[in-house]
């Protein structure tokens, strides 16, 4: 599910600011953006993120800074400064013209200027990052829950529509056998074949068709799947994968009904139901 969360925490002179953004994805895919010297923290931070989310792509941005008033001084390496100046003088002698040494050259030269806090201590940074990340995740979950509540309303409406289509199919099923009996009689009359309506062969053919077109089991399973879907919607646990599975099962039952019934009216109800189901399946991919 999509969402955004921000968190901040100060500890031992450090401020950690964490922002986490998620977009839809079937599996959990977590990416961190943090200073290179802190990459060793990724495994622990990933575990923390997975406690809150199990699906979606999460981009976690971590920014560290020292609290105002802390030691941000820097030192100058005098030997490197002299060496750099000597090098420029040698270049000037070689090319026969004066090459000016500017402030930018001193800044760019490695090791000339060294800040007192040019890197981050892993243990020190972890104390600030952990609570900030957890705070951002709490805010993320709040936003995702709000989206989930809207999706739930939409799902319930579409489930009611699926139940309506299932009921229409169930009511139309007995007429299918009757229509098949009439169709057989019409074909026999058109072929000028006189057959007794109580002929055992005719009755057997109708009985076989009735057995092949019986979809009572499928409609029963459909009702069960839809009820189970509603139960999952009221659960506090992650149910995205379970809902995805139920969508597959519901789709399978409608496909079976369409192939067994061999009826235009039922076929149209199946098409309408599968159109509604596809809209549910698209949104289920966003559910935690």
pLDDT in tens, 168-210: 888 877 776 666 666 666 666 676 666 566 666 666 665 666 5
pLDDT at 184: 63
For the chain, what's the residue count? 288
Model pLDDT for residues 76-126, shown as the tens digit of each residue? 888 888 888 898 888 888 888 888 888 888 777 877 776 555 467 888 889
Structure token pair of residue 288: 């935690």
pLDDT at 131: 95
Closest to 141 in 3D by CA, of 51, 207, 26: 51
pTM of the full predicted structure?
A: 0.60
Topology of the domain comprising 145-284: 1.20.120
Model pLDDT for residues 209-265, shown as the tens digit of each residue? 656 667 788 888 999 999 999 999 988 787 888 999 999 999 999 998 888 777 788
* Integer Cα distance of 131 and 9 in angstroms: 6
Domains of the chain: which residue ranges?
A: 3-70+122-143, 74-115, 145-284
The single-letter DSSP state of residue 67 is P
* Integer Cα distance of 4 and 135 in angstroms: 12
What would the mean pLDDT of 10-15 be, rounded to a whole number? 85
Among the four given CATH numbers 3.40.50, 3.20.20, 3.30.230, 3.40.640, the one describing domain 3-70+122-143: 3.30.230
Structure token pair of residue 115: 């800040």
């Amino acid at each position: 599910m999509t969402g955004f969360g921000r968190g901040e925490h100060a500890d031992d002179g450090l401020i950690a600011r964490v922002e986490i953004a998620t977009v839809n994805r079937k599996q959990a895919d977590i990416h961190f953006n943090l200073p290179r010297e802190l990459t060793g923290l990724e495994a622990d931070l990933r575990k923390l993120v997975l406690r809150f989310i199990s699906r979606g792509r999460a981009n976690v941005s971590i920014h560290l800074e020292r609290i105002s008033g802390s030691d941000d001084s820097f030192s100058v390496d005098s030997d490197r400064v002299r060496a750099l100046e000597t090098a420029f003088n040698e270049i000037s002698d070689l090319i026969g013209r004066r090459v000016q040494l500017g402030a930018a050259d001193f800044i760019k030269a490695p090791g000339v200027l060294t800040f007192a806090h040019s890197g981050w201590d892993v243990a020190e940074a972890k104390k600030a990052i952990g609570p900030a990340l957890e705070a951002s995740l709490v805010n993320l979950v709040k936003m995702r829950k709000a989206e989930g509540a809207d999706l739930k309303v939409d799902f319930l409406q579409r489930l009611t529509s699926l139940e309506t289509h299932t009921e229409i199919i169930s009511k139309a099923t007995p007429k299918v056998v009757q229509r098949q009996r009439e169709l057989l009689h019409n074909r026999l009359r058109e072929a000028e074949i006189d057959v007794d309506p109580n002929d055992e062969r005719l009755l057997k053919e109708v009985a076989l068709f009735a057995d092949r077109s019986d979809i009572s089991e499928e409609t029963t399973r459909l009702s069960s799947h839809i009820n189970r879907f509603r139960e999952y919607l009221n659960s506090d646990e992650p149910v995205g994968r379970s809902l995805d599975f139920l969508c597959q099962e519901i789709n399978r039952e409608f496909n079976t009904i369409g192939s067994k019934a061999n009826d235009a009216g039922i076929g149209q109800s199946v098409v309408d139901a599968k159109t509604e189901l596809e809209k549910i399946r698209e949104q289920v991919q966003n559910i935690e």
